[in-house]
Amino acid sequence: MKSGLSFLVAARRCEIDELDQLARTGELVGAIGRLVHALQRERGLSNVLLGSQGTRFAAQRSAQIGECIRLEQDVRAGFERLRVEGRRLGSGTRLFSRIAWVLPGLDALPVLRRRIASLEIETGDATAALAKLIAGLLAVVFEAADGATDPEISRLLAAMFNFMQGKEFAGQERACGAAAFAAGLNDGTRQQQWLQLIAAQERCFHVFTEFAGPALAGLWRDSEPTGEIAELERLRRAAITAAPGAALDTELSTVWFDCCSLRIDAMKAIEERLADDLRALCDRKIAEARAEADTNQALLDRLADATEPPVATAFFDEVAQQPPTVKAYGHQLERSVLDMLQEQSQRLQAMSEELDAVRAGLNERKLVERAKGLLMAHRRMTEQEAHAMLRQVAMNQNRRLVDVAESVLSMADFLPGSN
Amino acid sequence: MKSGLSFLVAARRCEIDELDQLARTGELVGAIGRLVHALQRERGLSNVLLGSQGTRFAAQRSAQIGECIRLEQDVRAGFERLRVEGRRLGSGTRLFSRIAWVLPGLDALPVLRRRIASLEIETGDATAALAKLIAGLLAVVFEAADGATDPEISRLLAAMFNFMQGKEFAGQERACGAAAFAAGLNDGTRQQQWLQLIAAQERCFHVFTEFAGPALAGLWRDSEPTGEIAELERLRRAAITAAPGAALDTELSTVWFDCCSLRIDAMKAIEERLADDLRALCDRKIAEARAEADTNQALLDRLADATEPPVATAFFDEVAQQPPTVKAYGHQLERSVLDMLQEQSQRLQAMSEELDAVRAGLNERKLVERAKGLLMAHRRMTEQEAHAMLRQVAMNQNRRLVDVAESVLSMADFLPGSN
């Protein structure tokens, strides 16, 4: 009995450790969210600067870069804290690899910024470069969500990841539109890309709604700036339905940028709310686990104080009816310990089931990543080309990206080798 | 660049920690396998003792109990080592809860043994009691397999778990047949249970074959004692096809027991081989991870020695073509670091995919557990009753247990509440 209980106490301690670790990871996710938000804004401003041949937004962009540098320090400090303390982390290997992957991107940012300032780079390339960096940062968030062992926390992290991903597509749409309006014209390729970005946002927010639950989803719908959304839809329609190559009013670039920014700022508020909820949830879970650990410990102490150790028999009660004679001293106490172990076991079972459900939601992303990897390997494509190809097929066939990814994976054997 | 590399080194260290932990868990799994094997034999001997009203196998059973007690000490010591060292364990919470659940069963074993010796318990109840204990021990193995983060190791652990589970069904069949032959008669319920046990074994060994690969599966087929298997099949047919209630030759109980035991001993040899393979695999993986960590560290040192730090730009090479002017000193070195990070990222992607595939194989078991839990909650059944019901439906409808479990889960909303 005592030995069983001491393992229950050990299990609780592990749980508390994991929750502590998740709380710290949650804080890092919040810091990443703030940096991503600032980088998205920098990208939009940079695109207007490039699209306008350096005539617009130069000062705003400089101020924004200052903000980005400040927030980057928080993220780097958070990474470093995890590295110093984090050797106990469950998914440490994968999380650290993602961080290792994205850090050279942050290192390379000053050079990229100088090239943008001196107009040495195409608008599309600048967008792609910052999108690559942001994708690397979001991959860290994804890994944190995938590595969480508590289903409620995992669910909230999955909601956050999908919301952040949706917001990134909204940011890419802002950049795409900003470039189009600033240049004063649109073309067919950009129109198609634009439509894809709208569809991708909607998919992400749909998954977010599933994971976040009705309260948060409602809060988000209510927080959207109605007037700006209407204006946004009008500008979208005007730009996307215009005949390819038709002129766009360059004055609209500011209107477009402001509408998009107000909408994205509203998203940012929801993201902050998600981060607050995550912090509160971790705190509550830690308090619960500590209270249960105390209960277990008290019972363990009570057993240690018992003058005569109880005869252990209750384990087989259910399967092999015990005659009353063996129901010796302490049977009642033993029964209550067993009930606790049983309860713990059922709780873990329920947690494990819920965790499976949450992870299934993350699988969509994994499918797309795998399909891209397959295309990169078999058709010698870059990641961008592979993604573009999947998107193109999805649009041509009017199917969801994830469905196309599944088809690609199921056709793996029929793909040409790397020849 | 340096910061990225230091996280790659941190990722490797996590990997080495996880592998060390897996190696220790693997040793525990081996010790559990030996104890389960001894308990299975004790169960068979106990059943003949009970079935023969205490006239057969009393001495062999006493000797076997001594063996079990010795092996139990190894398992308890292994549990304790994990508890003392194991706070860094990924799936610690769940693994420790499983251990906490099964320890009271080991504590209650002496009382159960006394009741069997004094013939105070029914044969069926004795089998069920020992089966419950063994199921608890196998659940620890399952948790170890489910918590492994390396796909190759997870695959081998999954193969081991399924093999051990199949062997346990073979052990239950030995006990079931031993009771029937010792009692000198069979009945319809036992015949149905017997058929189920044969089917369950075959399913487990099928999954084992999938995970273990052709070499190990072939080794297992070759190691089966041909003569005894033929005899076993003859005895199975005779007992299962006999009219319910017809007399069985009590002298055959020894023949039956020996045939089953030889077959199970052959399984034990494969199980030992699996444990050896697991140890070798962990050692190899640890050596590989250490070598890679050394390579990373050497590169990190080389960067630290560089008189002028390289200008980081290569991250954006792919998406934003860099003009030659910015390809400054150290670009080549930076490129090689980036390639290493890229490689690591792809390796993790591949690992993650393979791990998903391995876990899908473990899902079958989870589905059955979930369906049982649902029946227990909604129909106020014991675990045994729920399992019996699933089995019965599977048999009546001639479907696999896992398919019935899936149907039950999909019908969850239509189940009556706990009224």
- Tokens standing for residue B109: 């074993």
Among B22, B91, B101, B102, which would you mutate to test the A interface (most chain A Cβ atoms within 10 Å of its Cβ)?
B101
pLDDT tier at A309, thresholds 50, 70, 90: low
Please write the tens of the pLDDT for every residue from B134-158: 999 998 988 887 777 788 888 888 8
Segment B71-84 shows an average pLDDT of 92
pLDDT tier at A311, thresholds 50, 70, 90: low
What is the rounded CA–CA span in Å between residue B102 and residue A327?
20
Query: Which range is least confidently modeled, A94-98, A374-378, A387-391, B303-307?
Result: B303-307
ipTM for the assembly: 0.72
pLDDT tier at A6, thresholds 50, 70, 90: confident
- Minimal C-alpha gap between B325 and chain A (Å): 11
Judge: domain A331-404, CATH 3.40.50.2300.
no
What is the rounded CA–CA span in Å between residue A238 and residue A194?
12
Segment B269-283 shows an average pLDDT of 91
- Tokens standing for residue B286: 């640890």
Residue B10 and residue A366: Cβ atoms within 8 Å?
Answer: no
Rounded mean pLDDT of chain A?
A: 82
What is the rounded CA–CA span in Å between residue B106 and residue A4?
10
Instruction: Say how many C-beta atoms besides its own lie within 10 A of residue A219's C-beta.
Output: 14
Instruction: Say how many C-beta atoms besides its own lie within 10 A of residue A398's C-beta.
Output: 6
Residue B370 and residue A384: Cβ atoms within 8 Å?
Answer: no
Helix axes B2-51, A92-117, angle to 10 degrees: 160
Question: Mean pLDDT highest for which of A171-185, A343-357, B23-37?
Answer: B23-37
Residue B315 and residue A120: Cβ atoms within 8 Å?
Answer: no
Please write the tens of the pLDDT for every residue from B230-262: 999 999 998 888 887 788 888 888 899 899 999
Please write the tens of the pLDDT for every residue from B280-303: 999 999 999 899 888 888 877 877
- If one compares B84 and B73, the residue with the highest pLDDT of the two is B73
What is the rounded CA–CA span in Å between residue A52 and residue A64?
18
Residue B94 and residue A334: Cβ atoms within 8 Å?
Answer: no
Burial class from Cβ neighbours inside 10 Å (0-12, 13-18, 19+) for residue B150 reads buried
Assess whether pLDDT exceeds 70 at residue B412: no
pLDDT tier at B30, thresholds 50, 70, 90: very high
Sequence letter at residue A253: S
Please write the tens of the pLDDT for every residue from A185-204: 888 888 888 988 898 898 88
Contact pairs from chain A to chain B, CB under 8 Å: 255
Q: Which residues on A lie below 8 Å from B101 (Cβ)?
A: 4, 341-342, 344-345
* Cβ–Cβ < 8 Å for B112, B42: no
Residue A352 and residue B92: Cβ atoms within 8 Å?
Answer: no
Residue B5 and residue A96: Cβ atoms within 8 Å?
Answer: no
Assess whether pLDDT exceeds 60 at residue A87: no
- Minimal C-alpha gap between B345 and chain A (Å): 7
What is the rounded CA–CA span in Å between residue B397 and residue B63?
44
Assess whether pLDDT exceeds 60 at residue A328: no
pLDDT tier at A331, thresholds 50, 70, 90: low
Which of the 8 DSSP states describes residue B415? Answer: S
Q: Can you list the pairs that A406-409 forms with residues at least 24 positions away whose Cβ atoms lie under 8 Å?
A: A406/A367, A406/A371, A408/A371, A408/A374, A408/A375, A409/A367, A409/A370, A409/A371, A409/A374
Confidence (pLDDT) at B410:
64
Confidence (pLDDT) at B75:
96
Considering only CA atoms, which of B322, B416, B410 is closest in space to residue B377? Answer: B416
Residue A334 and residue B129: Cβ atoms within 8 Å?
Answer: no
Counts for chain A of helices (H) and strands (E), in that order:
11, 0
What is the rounded CA–CA span in Å between residue B40 and residue B201?
15
CA atoms within 13 A on the CB side of B271: 26
Please write the tens of the pLDDT for every residue from B152-192: 888 888 899 999 999 999 999 998 888 888 888 888 888 88
pLDDT tier at A412, thresholds 50, 70, 90: low
Considering only CA atoms, which of A266, A260, A264 is closest in space to residue A177? Answer: A260
B364-393 CB burial, b ≥16 within 10 A, e <16: bbbbbbbbbbbbbebeebebeebbebbbeb
Confidence (pLDDT) at A124:
85
Report the sign of the C-alpha dihedral through residues B182, B185, B188, B189, in that order. negative
Residue A3 and residue B370: Cβ atoms within 8 Å?
Answer: no
A338-353 CB burial, b ≥16 within 10 A, e <16: bebbeebbeebbebbb
Cα distances (Å, whole numbers) of residue B342 to A128, B176, B271, B335: 18, 56, 38, 10
Place of tokens 């990814």: A405
B90-118 CB burial, b ≥16 within 10 A, e <16: bbbbbbbbbbbbbbbbbbbbebbbebbbe
Q: Which residues on B lie below 8 Å from A363 (Cβ)?
A: 356
Query: Which range is least confidently modeled, A37-46, A353-362, B256-265, B325-334?
Result: B325-334
Instruction: Say how many C-beta atoms besides its own lie within 10 A of residue B360's C-beta.
Output: 9
- If one compares A165 and A149, the residue with the highest pLDDT of the two is A165
Assess whether pLDDT exceeds 60 at residue A372: yes
Residue A373 and residue B18: Cβ atoms within 8 Å?
Answer: no
* Smallest CA–CA distance from B385 into chain A, residue: A319
- Minimal C-alpha gap between A224 and chain B (Å): 33
- If one compares B107 and A88, the residue with the highest pLDDT of the two is B107
* Smallest CA–CA distance from A124 into chain B, residue: B320
Segment A303-332 shows an average pLDDT of 63
Among B1, B2, B3, which would you mutate to test the A interface (most chain A Cβ atoms within 10 Å of its Cβ)?
B3
Assess whether pLDDT exceeds 80 at residue A41: yes
Of residues B11, B93, B338, nearest to A14 (C-beta): B93
Query: Which range is least confidently modeled, A73-77, B29-33, B105-109, B385-389?
Result: B385-389
- Minimal C-alpha gap between A319 and chain B (Å): 6
What is the rounded CA–CA span in Å between residue A120 and residue B192?
79
Which of the 8 DSSP states describes residue A309? Answer: P
- Minimal C-alpha gap between B387 and chain A (Å): 13
Report the sign of the C-alpha dihedral through residues B197, B203, B204, B206, in that order. positive
pLDDT tier at A418, thresholds 50, 70, 90: very low
* Cβ–Cβ < 8 Å for A78, A28: yes
Helix axes B331-378, B252-305, angle to 10 degrees: 150
Cα distances (Å, whole numbers) of residue A302 to A188, A290, A308: 76, 18, 12
Report percent pLDDT > 70 for chain B: 87
- Alpha helices, DSSP H only, in A224-330? 226-241, 252-305
Residue B125 and residue A319: Cβ atoms within 8 Å?
Answer: yes
- Minimal C-alpha gap between B12 and chain A (Å): 7
Instruction: Say how many C-beta atoms besides its own lie within 10 A of residue A280's C-beta.
Output: 11
Sequence letter at residue B286: I
pLDDT tier at A326, thresholds 50, 70, 90: very low
Confidence (pLDDT) at A90:
54
Delimit the domains of chain B by residue range.
Answer: 2-286
What is the rounded CA–CA span in Å between residue B199 and residue B210?
17
Which of the 8 DSSP states describes residue A310? Answer: P
Assess whether pLDDT exceeds 80 at residue A380: no
Confidence (pLDDT) at A417:
44
- Minimal C-alpha gap between B349 and chain A (Å): 8
What is the rounded CA–CA span in Å between residue B211 and residue B204?
11
